Every structure is written in structure tokens, then in C-alpha cells.
Amino acid sequence: MTDQTWIPEGVDPERPSIARIYDFYLGGNHNLPADREAARHVVELTPELPDIMRVNRAFLRRSVRYLVGAGIRNFLDLGSGIPTVGNVHEIAQGVDPTARVVYVDNDPVAIAHSREILDGNDRAVVVHGDLRDAAAILADAEVNRLLLLGLGEPIALLMSAVLHFVPDDDEAAALVAAYRDALAPGSYLALSHAAHMPESAERNERAAETYSRTVAPMKLRSLEEVTALLDGFEIIDPGVVYCEQWRPDPEDVVAARDLLPQICVVARKP
């Protein structure tokens, strides 16, 4: 995209953005030359990365449909990024128009475009915030108004491809615990995470190092390390698995022949 009039004031176009890079991988057009350069550099090390992003988006779609089927009507999407096809409100409200969604992101571009696409939808809003500040997000007036947190309504907390940007294990565990403790019983967590896979460890670690150096600090975690973050939750079948393995749908076809280094889980707070 050469017309940059859509860039909000104060955004540094020379600094790559996680949200805009993700948009580029998904085939969107709200990204800048700096984002595309960073994305292509990482893809040189991990050519399957665009497929990983598409597999992650497919898991998000399947998990949201599952959660609506489980009776959840309130969704809190942390690190939601730039609205693209298949966003949470489209999925959830496509099944039940009464579903309510709050998106949270700290990228001004993501916020601006979320507000534009959500204009006129009184059951979906976007909040500017950092997922690391759980107290501020959970105290936010819009979050509480729409998701009825004060009334003890169960919600689905979505952490889609964001927790690997919290590289410290203790901080990541504390964050999950902080949100878990604030959720009503019967709430759910749907989480996906970049994975450490022994068979491709060297290549993926180089890609993560490049991402950490050029975009944001990032840490790959194993199935066991992600499972350790789920203390206090009941893990829903099929457990902590690679994204292609979580309740697969025939429409979610990716050309890769091998499992991709992205793992996911849906878990319930009893």
C-alpha cells in the first residue's frame, strides 16, 4: 500500500509492528515497507511462517465457534491486532448475534482500524491497552460495561499468538494467573503459542532471535512449558496440541506436509 493516509498520527512508519506484520502474513494491506521487510527477513529463516499464521487464524475460528456452542457470549481478545477477515466478532456474532466482544491492543494502527470496522456494532468495541497490565484492562470501564464482569458473567479470554511476546516464564505465568483469578467460574481460556519443536529447533530459534532483534522480544515454548501456564484450568480435549490437531475442520487446509510449530489449547475455569 503506497497511500499512507490511513496511518494514525504519532505512528513511526520506520518501526515494524507486530500487528501490521501479522496483517501482512495474512494477506492484508494495512502494513508498511518496514513491516514487510522485517516479515520477509524472518520468512527467509522460517518459510512456513505465513502458513503458521493461517493455521493460527483457523484455530481461532474453530475455538470461538466451540466456545459459543459451550454457552459463552462474552469474549475478551487480548493483543487482537488489525481487524482482518475472520475476526472474533464476525465468528461469534455469525453464530449468535447477541455475542459481545472486546478487543484489546496497544498498537495505534490496530486501534484505529478496529474502531473503523466496528462502527455501528454496539456489541463489539476496542480498548487501547497492554495485555501485560491485567489490572488496568480488567478495571477498564468499557470492558466491564460490555462483558458484565461485575455481574460474574463467564467470558472467553483469548490469547492468540501473543504470549510468546512475554519471554519471561514467571511473568507469563503470573499474567495468565491474574486473568484467571478475575474470571468467573465457567469462563474459558483459548491460547495459541509459537512452539519449540526439536526437529526444527535450530531454524525456528534463529527466526525467533531475528524477530526479537527487529520487532519484539519473543520466546518459543514447548508443549510442556505451555501446559505449565494453565494451572487452575481444566484442559478441554484434545489437550495442548499443535494447532492443526485441535478439532480439525476440513475447510482448514494448509499446504504444509508436516506439523507447524504453533501449539494451542482451550481450557475452562471450574
Extract the runs of DSSP E, i.e. beta strands, from the chain: 74-78, 100-105, 124-128, 156-160, 188-194, 234-235, 241-242, 262-268
pLDDT, tens digit, 9 for 90 and up, residues 225-238: 999 999 999 999 99
pLDDT, tens digit, 9 for 90 and up, residues 180-219: 999 999 999 999 998 876 655 566 666 667 666 656 677 8
CA distance 77 to 81: 9
pLDDT interval class at 239 (50, 70, 90):
very high
- CA-nearest of 81, 89, 33, 31 to 56 is 81
- Where are the domains positioned within the chain? 18-268
For residue 24, is pLDDT > 90?
no
Among 33-37, 46-50, 90-94, 111-115, the minimum mean pLDDT is found in 46-50
CA distance 32 to 36: 6
Residue 263, strand partner residues? 193, 242
CATH of range 18-268; options 3.50.50.60, 2.40.30.30, 3.40.50.150, 3.50.70.10:
3.40.50.150
